[in-house]
Amino acid sequence: MENIQQAAKPSAMMNEAPMNHLTLSDRLKSYKRTPGSFLVMLLVVLSAVATIAALVFLILYILVNGIPYINADLFSWTYTSENCSVIPAAINTVIMAGISLLLAVPVGIGSAIYLVEYAKKGNKLVKVIRVTAETLTGIPSIVYGLFGMLFFVTALKWKFSILAGAFTLAIMILPVILRTTEEALLSVPDSYREGSFGLGAGKLRTIFKIVLPAAVPGILSGVILATGRIVGETAALIYTAGTVAKIPNSAFSSGRTLAVHMYLLANEGLHVNQAYATAVILLILVIGINALSSFIAKKISKA
């Protein structure tokens, strides 16, 4: 049917001004007849402007006030109450993110594999897993913090430690990894699996050699998103990893991450300038991480 359409011949008509395009004055004339609609349109546009303005203002305000205070002192190897160095906290953040991801990523990917590749439709267990994963998503970080304190710090006697903090965060980011991996696995076409089975490969081989590699970008974008949450997290860490501003000797020593460091600086109120500078570092870090994640996510949707 559509194949009988023919390509347009360039015609003089093409150059004539089309009559169906509304100019601005046409629109305004039309709005004059319906002032209510005009008002609504204004409100819609203003709201969008307000949203963007809030973001731009926040970022600019912190950058402008913080960048002048980024100096060498801030990056000293050890922290003192004079230099307010971010280095120990930055190192703690990297360690914290590393351990949390090490714990959460395999578990998250494993559960997603089970949900997508093994579980049968209508399975009761799957429903329970989904409900619990959704519950985990909704739990505020302070509740994770409380739980971490009660379980890892107190019951398991790990004291305030990087490890207790990392375990707490691992539970917190588990649903993020689970969900993004699940989506990535679901988006792998069934023809890939059938092709592999057709060649006599087992289920396990198919998953590891065919399905997972195809889902890597999606999983990666989820992992990076989770990293962003770890870097920005405070409430779940104060009473699990504690607030010691030192590079830890072992996984069982306490250590503050960058976000916790930022909170303490701001709350003491003695080092506002350094707090600004730390905010700049934190902001740039998180924006960079998020940008990377959405960049990878966009790559997939194009492919």
Partner 1 sequence: MANKMMIDDLNLYYGQFHALKDISLNIQEKEITAFIGPSGCGKSTLLKSLNRMNDLVEGCKITGQVTLDGTDIYRDLDVNLLRKRVGMVFQKPNPFPMSIYDNVAYGPRTHGIRSKAKLDQIVEEALRGAAIWDELKDRLKKSALGLSGGQQQRLCIARALAVKPEVLLMDEPTSALDPISTIKIEELAQELKKDYTIVMVTHNMQQATRISDKTVFFLLGEIIEAGKTDELFSMPKDKRTEDYITGRFG
Partner 2 sequence: MAKSKEKIMEIVFLLAACVSILAVALICVFLFANGIPAMKKIGFADFLLGTTWKPGNDIYGIFPMILGSIYVTVGAIIIGVPIGLLTAVFLAWYCPEKIYKVVKPAVELLAGIPSVVYGFFGMVMIVPAIRYNFGGTGSSILAASILLGIMILPTIIGVSESAIRAVPGSYYEGSLALGATHERSVFRAVLPAAKSGIFAGIILGVGRAIGETMAVIMVAGNQARVPKGILKGVRTLTANIVMEMGYAEGLHREALIATGVVLFVFILIINLAFSIIKMRSEKE
* Upper half-sphere CA count for residue 244 (Cβ side, 13 Å): 15
Q: Residue 17 or residue 303: which is nearer to partner 1 going by CB?
A: 17
Does the footprint of partner 1 cover residue 24 (CB under 8 A)?
A: no
76 binds, among partner 1, partner 2, none (CB under 5 to 8 A by kind): none
Binding mask 103-132 for partner 2 (x = CB under 8 A): ---xxxxxx-xxx-xxx-----x--xx-xx
* Total chain residues near partner 1 (CB under 8 A): 22
Interface with partner 2 (CB under 8 A), residue from 146, 186, 214, 292: 146
Does the footprint of partner 1 cover residue 13 (CB under 8 A)?
A: yes
Distance CA 119, CA 222 (A): 22
Q: Which stretch binds partner 1 (CB under 8 A): 29-37, 57-65, 214-222, 241-249?
A: 29-37
Cα-based torsion angle of the residue sequence 136, 138, 141, 144 in order, rounded to the nearest 10 degrees: -30
Length of the chain: 303
Distance CA 96, CA 179 (A): 22
Footprint (CB under 8 A) of partner 1, residues 34-63: 34
Query: Considering all CA atoms of the chain, what is the largest pairwise distance in Å, rounded to the nearest integer?
Result: 84
Does the footprint of partner 1 cover residue 22 (CB under 8 A)?
A: yes
Footprint (CB under 8 A) of partner 1, residues 109-148: none
Distance CA 167, CA 227 (A): 14
Does the footprint of partner 1 cover residue 33 (CB under 8 A)?
A: yes
Q: Which stretch binds partner 1 (CB under 8 A): 5-13, 70-78, 237-245, 264-272?
A: 5-13
294 binds, among partner 1, partner 2, none (CB under 5 to 8 A by kind): partner 2
Amino acid at 296: I
- Min dist. Cβ of residue 106 to partner 2 (A): 7
Distance CA 16, CA 263 (A): 63
Does the footprint of partner 1 cover residue 72 (CB under 8 A)?
A: no
Does the footprint of partner 1 cover residue 23 (CB under 8 A)?
A: no
Does the footprint of partner 2 cover residue 150 (CB under 8 A)?
A: yes
Check residue 267 and give left, alpha or beta (phi > 0: left; psi -120 to 50: alpha): alpha
By C-alpha distance, which of 35, 152, 165, 145 is closest to 96? 165
Does the footprint of partner 1 cover residue 9 (CB under 8 A)?
A: yes
Distance CA 273, CA 62 (A): 10
* Total chain residues near partner 2 (CB under 8 A): 88
Q: Residue 36 or residue 198: which is nearer to partner 2 going by CB?
A: 36
Distance CA 119, CA 111 (A): 10
Q: If you compute the radius of gyration of the chain from its CA atoms, what whole number of angstroms results? A: 26
Scored b (16 or more CB within 10 A) or e, 249-262 reads eeeebbbbbbbbbb
- Min dist. Cβ of residue 248 to partner 2 (A): 20
Amino acid at 261: H
Does the footprint of partner 2 cover residue 239 (CB under 8 A)?
A: yes
Q: List residues binding partner 1 (CB under 8 A).
A: 1-2, 4-9, 11, 13-14, 16-22, 29-30, 33-34
